[in-house]
C-alpha cells in the first residue's frame, strides 16, 4: 500500500450539483486527512438543475481528482423525468457508463472503494466492481433508507428489484456506514453479520465555510430585539410538508412590540401561494419564500438569523433521519427550533438545550414559538469543546475506518 491510502469514491451527488448529499460528501472528503481521494460522479446538473459554482470550487479542493461521467443523450433525457418509476432511482440508467469509466481508472490500483448514496443507485456500481475485484475493500455509505423509503412510492416489480439489490449491497460490502444508529438498525434489522460490519459516522459542518463565525455567534445571543428573523433552509417534499408550519403561525400571537419575519430558502412549493393571503391578515408576522441560494450564502444567513427551524419527517413513529441542514444549523451557532417526532432530531436538539415541538401537535409548535418570542435569553448551539459534528473530527473518524478496511489488512 502507498504511504497515503488511495481511495476511489463513487457517488452521483457532488458539487457543483446542488443537493444536501453533494454538500455532505464534499465536506467529508475535504476533511479526510492523509488520503489521496479521487471522486467519480455524474456530470454537472444531471441530478439537480441547480449548480453551486462556489461549492464546486470548494469540492475540487480534495487531495485528488474529480472525474465526471457524461451519459448518452437518451440517458440524460430519461434521468430528467422526475416521476420515472425506476427503483432505487432513475439514475440507475447511468450505472453502465459509470462502471465503464470506473474500470478505466483501474480499480485495482486503489486501496479502497467508497460508494455514497442517499437512495441513489451508485452502490450498484460498487457491487459490480466488488464482483470483478473481490479482494478490493468496499465501504458503502447510506445517508437515507434505500429501498422501502418512506418518501418513495412502491412500484410493482421495480421496488422488488430494488430490495433484492439492496440486500446484495448490504451482504457484499466489506463495511457499512450510516449517519444515525436508528438508520443502522433499520437497514440491518439487527442481523448479526450486518451489524458487526456497520458503524455510525454522522454528517458534518466545516467551520471554514461560515466566514465571520465567532462574531455572528456572539451577535445571535443578543436579546430584546423588536424585529426578529426566523429562517428555514431546505425544500419540502414527500411527507415533509409546510402545512403544519402555516397552521402554527396562523395561531401564533406575536406580541405587539415585536415584528416577526419568517423566511424560507429552497425550492418552490405550491403551498407558498398561500403566503400572500397570510401576510394580509397578520400584522406582526410575515412569511416569505426567498428561493434557492448558494450554500455558502445560506450558511452566512443562518448566522445572522434569530432562530433556525427544521421540520422533520412525519411518516415514522420514531424518526431515524439526520437532516444535513440541522448539522449546518449547529455549525452556525444560532438558536434552533426542531419540529419533529421522537427520535434522532429530537435527541440531538435537546442535548444542545434547544427547542423542540411535536410535529403532530400544532399547539405544541405554537407554544414553543410563543415561548421563544418571549424568552429573556437565547441559547446558541455553539460549544467550542463539542466536536461531534465538526468536519475535521468526522474526517479523522472516517480515516480510521479506511485504514481498517484497506489493502494493508489483506
Dihedral of alpha carbons 205, 102, 134, 157, sign: positive
Instruction: Report pLDDT digits (tens) over 153-192.
Output: 666 776 677 788 889 999 999 999 999 999 999 999 989 9
The pLDDT value recorded for residue 1 is 46
Query: Are the CB atoms for 15 and 43 separated by under 8 Å?
Result: no
The pLDDT value recorded for residue 152 is 62
Cell of 150: 418512506
Query: Are the CB atoms for 209 and 395 separated by under 8 Å?
Result: no
The pLDDT value recorded for residue 76 is 86
Long-range contact pairs involving 94-100 (C-beta distance under 8 Å, separation at least 24): 94/12, 94/42, 94/46, 94/69, 95/121, 95/122, 95/124, 95/125, 95/128, 97/69, 97/70, 97/71, 97/72, 98/10, 98/40, 98/42, 98/69, 98/122, 98/125, 99/125, 99/128, 99/129
CA 373, CA 376: separation in Å to the nearest integer?
Answer: 9
Could you read off the pLDDT tens digit of each residue along the chain, which spans 410 residues?
447 899 999 999 999 999 999 999 999 999 999 999 999 999 987 888 889 999 999 999 999 999 999 999 988 888 787 776 767 777 788 999 999 999 999 999 999 999 998 767 899 999 999 999 999 999 999 998 876 665 566 667 766 777 888 899 999 999 999 999 999 999 999 899 999 999 999 999 999 999 765 545 545 555 567 889 999 998 887 777 889 999 999 999 999 889 999 999 998 989 999 999 999 999 999 999 999 999 999 999 999 999 999 998 777 777 888 999 999 999 999 999 999 999 999 999 999 999 999 999 999 999 999 999 988 666 666 666 678 999 999 999 999 999 988 865 54
Q: What is the DSSP letter of 410?
A: -
CA 136, CA 180: separation in Å to the nearest integer?
Answer: 26
CA 193, CA 118: separation in Å to the nearest integer?
Answer: 23
CA 114, CA 84: separation in Å to the nearest integer?
Answer: 27
The pLDDT value recorded for residue 408 is 52
Rg (CA), the chain: 22
Longest dimension (CA), the chain: 69
Instruction: Report pLDDT digits (tens) over 104-140.
Output: 999 999 999 999 987 678 999 999 999 999 999 999 9
- Angle made by CA atoms 137, 142, 146, in degrees to the nearest 5: 120
Kindly write down the DSSP assignment for every residue of 111-178, as one continuous string: SEEEEEESS-THHHHHHHHHHHSTTS-EEEEESS--TT-TTS---TTHHHHHHHHHHHHHHH-SEEEE
The pLDDT value recorded for residue 89 is 77
The pLDDT value recorded for residue 153 is 67
Amino acid at each position: 500500500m502507498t504511504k497515503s491510502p488511495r481511495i476511489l469514491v463513487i457517488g452521483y451527488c457532488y458539487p457543483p450539483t446542488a443537493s444536501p448529499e453533494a454538500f455532505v460528501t464534499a465536506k467529508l472528503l475535504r476533511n479526510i486527512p492523509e488520503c489521496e481521494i479521487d471522486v467519480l460522479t455524474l456530470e454537472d446538473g444531471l441530478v439537480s438543475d441547480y449548480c453551486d459554482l462556489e461549492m464546486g470550487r470548494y469540492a475540487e479542493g480534495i487531495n485528488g481528482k474529480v472525474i465526471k461521467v457524461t451519459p448518452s443523450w437518451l440517458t440524460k433525457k430519461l434521468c430528467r423525468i422526475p416521476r420515472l418509476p425506476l427503483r432505487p432511482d432513475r439514475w440507475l440508467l447511468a450505472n453502465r457508463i459509470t462502471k465503464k469509466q470506473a474500470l478505466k481508472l483501474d480499480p485495482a490500483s486503489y486501496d479502497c472503494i467508497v460508494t455514497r448514496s442517499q437512495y441513489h443507485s451508485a452502490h450498484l456500481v460498487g457491487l459490480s466492481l466488488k464482483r470483478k475485484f473481490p479482494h478490493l475493500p468496499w465501504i458503502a455509505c447510506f445517508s437515507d433508507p434505500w429501498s422501502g423509503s418512506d418518501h418513495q412510492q412502491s412500484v410493482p416489480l421495480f421496488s422488488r428489484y430494488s430490495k433484492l439489490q439492496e440486500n446484495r449491497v448490504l451482504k457484499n460490502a466489506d463495511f457499512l456506514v450510516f449517519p444515525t444508529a436508528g438508520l443502522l438498525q433499520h437497514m440491518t434489522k439487527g442481523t448479526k453479520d450486518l451489524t458487526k460490519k456497520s458503524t455510525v459516522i454522522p454528517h458534518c459542518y466545516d467551520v471554514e465555510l461560515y466566514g465571520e463565525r465567532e462574531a455572528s455567534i456572539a451577535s445571535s445571543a443578543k436579546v430584546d430585539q423588536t424585529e426578529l428573523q426566523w429562517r428555514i433552509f431546505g425544500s419540502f417534499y414527500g411527507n415533509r410538508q409546510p402545512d403544519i408550519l402555516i397552521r402554527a403561525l396562523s395561531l401564533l400571537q406575536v406580541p405587539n412590540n415585536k415584528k416577526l419575519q419568517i423566511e424560507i430558502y429552497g425550492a418552490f412549493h405550491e403551498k407558498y401561494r398561500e403566503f400572500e393571503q397570510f401576510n394580509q391578515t397578520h400584522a406582526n408576522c410575515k412569511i416569505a419564500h426567498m428561493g434557492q441560494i448558494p450554500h455558502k450564502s445560506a450558511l452566512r444567513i443562518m448566522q445572522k438569523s434569530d432562530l433556525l427551524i427544521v421540520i422533520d419527517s412525519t411518516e415514522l413513529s420514531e424518526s431515524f433521519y439526520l437532516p444535513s441542514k440541522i448539522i449546518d444549523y449547529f455549525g452556525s451557532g444560532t438558536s434552533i427550533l426542531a419540529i419533529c417526532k421522537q427520535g434522532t432530531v429530537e435527541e440531538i436538539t435537546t442535548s444542545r438545550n434547544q427547542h423542540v415541538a411535536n410535529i403532530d401537535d400544532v399547539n405544541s409548535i405554537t407554544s414553543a414559538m410563543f415561548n421563544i418570542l418571549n424568552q429573556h435569553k437565547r441559547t446558541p448551539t455553539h460549544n467550542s469543546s463539542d466536536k461531534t459534528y465538526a468536519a475535521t473530527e468526522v474526517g479523522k473518524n472516517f480515516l480510521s475506518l479506511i485504514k481498517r478496511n484497506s489493502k494493508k489488512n489483506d
